[in-house]
Amino acid sequence: MEERPKALLLKFPGTNCDSETARALEAAGFVAEVLPISRANETVLEAAHLVVFSGGFSYGDYVMAGRLAQLEAERKLGDSLMRFRDNGGYLLGICNGFQILTKLGFLPRGSLINNTSGRFICRWAGLKREVSGNPFLKGLPESFELPVAHAEGRFIAPDGDAQDYLGRGLVALTYTSDINGSSSAIAGLADETGRVLGLMPHPERFLWASNHYDPDWRGDGSEWGWGYMMFKSIHDTIAAEIAGHSP
Amino acid sequence: MTVMSPDQPAENFRRIEIRDLEPEGLGKLSEDMKLSLSIEDMIEIQLYYASEMRREPTDVELECIAQTWSEHCKHRIFGARIEHCGPDGEEVINGLFKTYIKEVTERIMETKPGFVLGCFVDNAGFIKLDDNQAVCLKVETHNHPSAIEPYAGANTGLGGVIRDILGAGKGAKPIASCDIFCFGPPDIDSGDIQADDVIHPLGIMRGVVRGVRDYGNRMGIPTISGAVQFDPSYIYNPLVFCGTAGVIPIDDIDKQMRGGLKIIAVGGRTGRDGLKGATFSSMALDTDSHEADQQAVQIGNPIEEKKAADFVLDARRGGLVVFITDCGAGGFSSAAGEMLSEVGGNLYLDRAPLKEPGMTSWEIFLSESQERMVLAVEESALPELRELAETYETELTDIGESDHSGILKVWHDGELVCELDNSRLHDAPVRQMSSEFVLESGSPGEGLDCADLVGELGALLSDFAVCSREPIIREYDHEVQGNTVLKPLAGASGDAPQDASVVRIDGSDQLMAMGLALLPEWGKSDPRAMGRATVDECMRSLVVAGANPDRIALLDNFCVGNPDNSRELGMLVETCKGIAEAAEAYGAPFVSGKDSFYNYFETEQGAVSIPTTCLISGMGIVEEQSHVTGASIRKPGSLLAVVGCSGPDMGGSVYARIKGVFGGQVPHLEPVAAMNSYRGVHQAISRGLILAAHDISEGGLAVAAAEMGFSLQAGLEIDLDALPAKGSPEVVARLFGEAPSRILIELDEASLSQLEELFNKTDFAVIGSTSSDHSRLRFTERGESVLDAELVALKEQWKNGLKHYY
Amino acid sequence: MAILTAEVIGKLDGKGDADTLVYAPMGGDCTYQKTRVYSIDYNGASNDAEQFVMGTLVDGYAEEVSFTGEPAIENYAFFIDYGMKPGALDLEKEAIMSSHRGARDRSIDISSLKITQRVYIFSGGEVAPNRFIRDICNSAIHVWSVTEANDRDVA
C-alpha cells in the first residue's frame, strides 16, 4: 500500500481554522495531524512532509498579527523548522499562518499590516497565479477565486515596495483588485525554493463547489472548489516524491 | 503585631440579622445590599430562616437567593399571574411562559415525536438533525451593558451565548452565530439626545459591531445572520441580541448529575469584575447607571474562551464529561445551584483561582467573571482532563464534589459560609400583575399616494430599514469553519441579500438554516399581529433558503420597557398570544427563549420605553445540499411568480413610516393557508423546480424584486395586474405593501405546470419574467409602465445606505 | 529597577481625518495620528530592554520607535493618552506579559507594563479636546489625560 504524505498542523491558542484545514488536507490525501504548540518540541517535525500554520488569531494577535506565535514557535521548535525546510520539507501558511511564517523569516522580508481600510474584511477575492510550477499552485488555473478574511493582510516590503519580489518570482499570488492596500497587490508569497508558501486567502474554505457564493459556479465541473486543487497539488507533488524515493 | 494587608478582608462572610426585622427594615436591607428583592420576597426569605433554618442567613446566602430569584434568572414576569383585559375580554393568565410557550410546544411535540430532543431545561433547545446528531440554538440579550460600554457589552454578550452552547448537553460545538441590534438612528443630532452620558447611536453601533466582530472572529465561529432595526425609541436603550447554534451527538444531549463526582472549573479566573450583573440587568437605566454601575461592564477575552472551548469539546469527545454548565449570570452560585441543587455537595471557594486577592465569600461565589465553565466529572477522569487542560493551556481547578445530601454547602477557608436546602431556594413567590390593551382600528393606506415611484423605491432601498448591511457583514468572518454554503450576501455578484443562511454540518448530509425576524413597527399598533407576522417571517425566511417547514424550531426573545406599566405589559401579553397562535398553526415549537425587561430610561423629559420587541429566530433542517436556495436571480428568460396574497393594509410598513403615516391597519395573516404554501414551496424546492426564492418583507414586492435583481444577471418585468390580491389594493400597496406570507420565485418555464399543481390558484400566479435585453426593473399596470428603474442605480442606493455611517 | 518608555509610530500611517474619530462630524480641518506608548518597569540592562521592545512590540518594517519619553510627533494642538483603567482587562498587556513569563531565558524581567493609546490632534484653528474624549474614551473602561501643545495637562 502506498504511503500517504503526512501533514502536521501546528495549533496555537487562538488558532481557529485547524479543523477545516485538516479536513481539506485529508480530502486531498494527506494524513493530517493537529498538534497544539504546548506539545511541540524539536523532534515533532521529523515524520512530517508538510508543516502547516493555519488561520486564526494566535494569542489574539494583540501585539501584532503572528508576533507572539513567532516567539513561541522559536522557543518550542528551535531551528528544527529551518532544518525541516532545508531537508526538503514543505511549509504552508494560510492567513494568520502567512503572518507567522513571515515573522519567522521563512518568506521574503516584509510585514503584513492593517488593511488600508482599517477594518476586518470577509469577502471573496479574485486571484492571479503569478508563477508556474509552484508545487502548491500547479493544479490551479491562472485566474481563480478564494475567500479572504483578515484585518492585517496588507503586505509591505522593507522599503515599502514589493515590486522587486514580482521580478524575482517570489510573488505567488496577486489580487485582481485592491482589497487591502497590499503592495503590488500581493496575496501570497513563496520563498526561493518554492517549498514555502504563505497566502492570505483561505483555500480550505473553498473545498467544495458548494462553498461558492454563486449557485451557478461550475469551476472545472467537479464537486470540488479551487481550494481543494491547491491541497491536491501539494499532495500530488509530495506523493510523487515519496514514490520516487521508494525502492 | 500582625499587619493586615488592606486587600485582606477582616472576615470572609457575615451573618445578617433578618428574623426580627419589620417589612420596611427588610425592604431597606434589600436596597442597601442591592439585592433587587421586593418586600414580599424578603418576607418569604425571613420565614424560611425563622421557621425552617432557625438561624440568621449569611450574606452569601442572601446574595445567592437574590441572584436566583432575580428577573434575569427566574423570569418572574413570564411566570406571573396576570389579570389581563384586552380584545378577548377579561382573563387571568397563569404564566405567559406556561400558557403561550411551553404548552404550545408540548402540543406540537406530541404531533412530531422525536423532533425536539430537548427544550427549556438545558442551556439551549435541541432538534434532531439526523440519526446521529442534533443541532441547538440559543439567543441572549446584553442590552444594559451594551448601552454603557458598547464594545465590551456586545463582546461579552456573544461570549456568554457561546458558552451557553458549550454548556448545552455535555458540550455542543458552536457552528454559527447571529446578531440582532436595535439602535437609535445613526444620523441623529446629538442635541436631540435628552440625557447626559448617553452614547450617540453611531457610537453604540460601531462599538457593538466591533465587539461582536472581535469575539466571534477570534473564536472562529462564523457570524452568518443578523438584523439591524433603527428607531428613535432605541436611543436610550439599544438592544443587542446574540445567538449561537451548536451541533452535538444525540447521545451526548442528556446529562444527569449524581453524587460522588468531582466539580471542576475551567477557563478564566474569578475576579471582582462582573459583580451584580444579573440584578443590574433587572433594573432600568438612568444617567446614574452610566456612572455608578460601571463594575458591571466587563471586557471579554475570546482567546481564553477559545482555549476552554477546545478543552471542553475534546473532553466531551473523550467521554470525560458527566455534566457541564457555563458560569453565566450568578457565576458559581448558579452553576453550582444547577449542578448540586438536587444531589447536594460541597464547594470550596478558597480553591478558585482569583484575579485579585482579598475577595470575600459572596464575591467569589457570585462573581460573573467571563470565560468560565464548570464540569462534573468522575474522579478517575481527572488525570486525563488535567493533561488536556495543559495541552490547550487553560486552567483547571478542582473546586468541590457532589454528594447525596441534597444540600449545597459552600466553604471558605474551612468555614461553612452557605448552607442551602435548594428545594426551598428556588421557590420564589409568584408575582401578581395586571395588564390591559386596547386595539385601535387603523385605516388602510391613506395619505400614501405618490407620483414618483422610482424615487420612492430608491428612498426605500436606501432607508436604514432596508439598505445593505454589507459594511457590518464584511467585518464578521462568516466563512470560518468552511461550511457556510448560503452566505448572508451571495448571488452571482456575491453581494446580494439572502433571507436565511445555511451551514453544512460535518458528518451529516443534512444542513442547518438559521433565520430570524422582528417587526417592532407593527407592534406599536397591533402587537398580536406583530407576534403572528414575526413567526411567519422567520418561518418563511427558512423555507425559501431550503429548510423543510415541518422541521423548524423557533426561539422567542422579548425585550420590553416597563412591565409595571399595565399597558406595556398588555402589549407583551398580546404579542405572546400572537406568537403562540402562529407557532401552533405552523407546528413550529419554541425550544428556547429569553426575556429582558426594564428597557426604559428616565430622560429629562420623562421615561422613554422601547417598543415591545419580539425577536423570533429559528433553525430549520435543510435535508439535502441541492435544496439550498438563494434569493438572487440566476438568468434571463425565467418566469417570476408570487406565492401568497397582497392586500391594501399599509400599517407597520417601511413605506408608511417614511411617508410619516402612523397607526394604519397592519396586514392580516392566515397562518394555515401560509403553512400550506410553505409546504408547496418546499416540495417545489425538493423537486428542483425553483431557481431562486425571496421573501417579500420590508419594502414590499418592489424592494423584494429589486433585491433579487441585485445579482445583475437579468432585468425583471412584473405585471402588477397579475398579482394575487385581496381587497383590490392600490398600486402603492401592491408595490410597497408588506402583507405577510408572500414569496417571490424565479422558475424555468418548463417547471410551471408542475409548480401550479402545488398551490391553491388564489395564492399563486406568474407575474412576470426575467429578461436579457435590458438591466431594468419594470412594473406595469394595464399595459402601462408604472415604475421603470435601472437595477445598477437602485443597487448603488441600496449599497450606500449605511456606508457613510458605519 | 528602571523604566523604559517606548512610543511606537506606524511608518506608513499618515494623518487621518479627525471627523472619523467622532460620531457627529465637525466639518473642520482637524487631522489625527495614533501611536502606542509602552511604559515598562523592568530589571536588567537598558540595551536588553530596548531589544525586548524591538523584538516583541515593534514591527521593524512598518513601525519605528522613540525611546526619548518626549512626544514623538510635533506640531499637535493636543494629544489624548488613554488606556484601560485599573480592573479593566487590557488584552494586549495580558498577552505580552504571558508571553514574557513563558520565555525560558529572559534578558530582562518586567515587573509592570502600561500601554497607552495616544491620539494626536492637529488643527489650524481652535479645537477643544472634549468632543474627542467623549467619543474616544469611555469612563466605564478607560482612564485618560490630555496634553496641550504647551505641555500642560488639561484633563
Inter-axis angle of helices B566-586 and B527-545, nearest 10: 40
| The model's pTM | 0.95
User: Is residue A12, in this structure, part of any structural domain at all?
Assistant: yes
Question: Which of A12, A67, A77 to mutate against chain C (most C CBs within 10 Å)?
Answer: A67
Q: Residue B2: pLDDT band by 50, 70, 90 thresholds?
A: very low
**Residue position matching grid coordinates 453524587:** B259
pLDDT score recorded for residue B294: 42
Are B308 and B247 in contact by the 8 Å Cβ rule? The answer is: no
Whether residue A161 is predicted with pLDDT greater than 90 in this model: the reply is no
- Kindly state the average pLDDT of the residues B68-78: 84
Q: Higher-confidence residue: B57 or B67?
A: B57
| Nearest of B504, B541, B481 to residue B623 by alpha carbon | B504
Nearest chain B alpha carbon to C86:
B273
Q: Confidence class of residue A49 from pLDDT cuts 50, 70 and 90?
A: very high
Give a yes or no: residue A223 inside a domain: yes
Q: Please answer yes or no on whether C141 and B299 come within 8 Å at the CB atom.
A: yes
Dist CA B184 CA B200 (whole Å): 8
CA atoms of B654 and B658, how far apart (whole Å): 6
Per the CB < 8 A criterion, the answer to whether C79 and C130 are in contact is: no
Average pLDDT over residues B590-598: 95
Phi and psi at residue B303, in whole multiples of 5°?
Answer: -70, -35
Min distance B226 CA to chain A CA atoms (Å): 16
Is the CB of B475 less than 8 angstroms away from the CB of A120?
Answer: yes
CB contact under 8 A, C95 and A71: no
CATH of B256-425, one of 3.90.650.10, 3.30.70.240, 2.60.120.10, 3.20.20.100: 3.90.650.10
Fold of B629-806: Phosphoribosyl-aminoimidazole Synthetase; Chain A, domain 2 (3.90.650)
Q: How many domains does one find in chain A? A: 1
Helix (H) or strand (E) run with residue B152 in it: helix B150-166
Q: Which of C8, C51, C99, C104 would best serve as a mutation to test chain A binding (most A beta carbons within 10 A)?
A: C99
Q: Following CA atoms C52, C54, C57, C60 in sequence, which dihedral angle do they give, to the nearest 10 degrees?
A: -160
Amino acid identity of residue C108, one-letter, is I
Q: Domain of C7?
A: 2-148
Q: Is C141 among the domain residues?
A: yes
Please count the structural domains in chain C: 1
Which residue spans within B40-195 are E strands per DSSP?
A: 81-86, 89-94, 116-118, 125-128, 133-141, 173-183
Residue A237 included in any domain: yes
Q: How confident is the model at residue B293 (pLDDT cuts 50, 70, 90)?
A: very low
Q: What pLDDT does residue C48 have?
A: 96
Chain B: list its partners (3+ Cβ pairs within 8 Å). Answer: A, C
Which residue has better confidence, B447 or C116? C116
For C125-134, how does the pLDDT look when each residue is reduced to its tens digit (9 = 90+)? 888 899 899 9
Q: Which of B302, B253, B157, B271 is nearest to B594 (CA)?
A: B157
Residue for grid cell 397562535: B581
Q: Do B484 and A211 touch (CB under 8 A)?
A: yes
Concatenating the DSSP letter of every residue in B207-243 gives HHHHHHHHHHHHHT--EEEEEEEE-GGGSSS-EEEEE
- Residue B609, phi then psi, degrees to nearest 5: -100, 155
Topology match between the domains B256-425 and B629-806: yes
Given the C-alpha cell 478582608, which residue does it identify?
B9
Cell numbers placing B564? 409595571
pLDDT of B519 over the 60 cut: yes
3-state DSSP assignment of residue C5: strand
Q: Look up A72 and say whether it is catalytic.
A: no
What CA–CA distances, in Å, run from B402 to B335, B382, B406? 13, 15, 9
Q: Is B368 exposed, middle or buried (0-12, 13-18, 19+ CB in 10 A)?
A: buried
Q: Which amino acid, one-letter code, is at B632?
A: S
From the list A12, A89, A85, the residue with the least C-alpha distance to A55 is: A12
Structural domain that includes position A69: 6-245
The answer to whether position C153 is within a domain reads no
pLDDT at B447: 62
Distances (CA, A) of B241 to A227, B350, B672: 34, 35, 30
Within a domain: C76: yes
Residues 6+ apart with CB under 8 A from B330: B64, B67, B68, B70, B73, B278, B337, B366, B368
Q: Is the pLDDT of residue B287 over 60?
A: no
Q: Is residue A1 situated within a structural domain?
A: no
CA distance C23 to chain B (A): 6
pLDDT exceeds cutoff 80 at A92 = yes
The half-sphere exposure of B636 on its side-chain side, counting CA atoms within 13 A, is: 10
* Interchain CB distance below 8 Å, C141 and B203: no
Q: Which residues of C touch B189 (CB under 8 A)?
A: 24
User: Which CATH number belongs to the domain containing residue A85 in this structure?
Assistant: 3.40.50.880
CA gap A129, B342 in Å, rounded: 63
**Structure ipTM over 0.95, yes or no:** yes
Nearest CA to B475 out of A121, A244, A109, C55 is that of A121
Phi, psi of B416 (to 5 degrees): -80, 110
Q: Which residues of A touch B481 (CB under 8 A)?
A: 19-20
Q: Do the Cβ atoms of B245 and B165 come closer than 8 Å?
A: yes
pLDDT band at B292 (very low <50, low <70, confident <90, very high): very low
The whole-number pLDDT of residue B806 equals: 77
Cβ neighbours, 10 Å, residue B436:
15
Tell me: pLDDT of B423 over 90: no
The number of residues in chain A equals 247
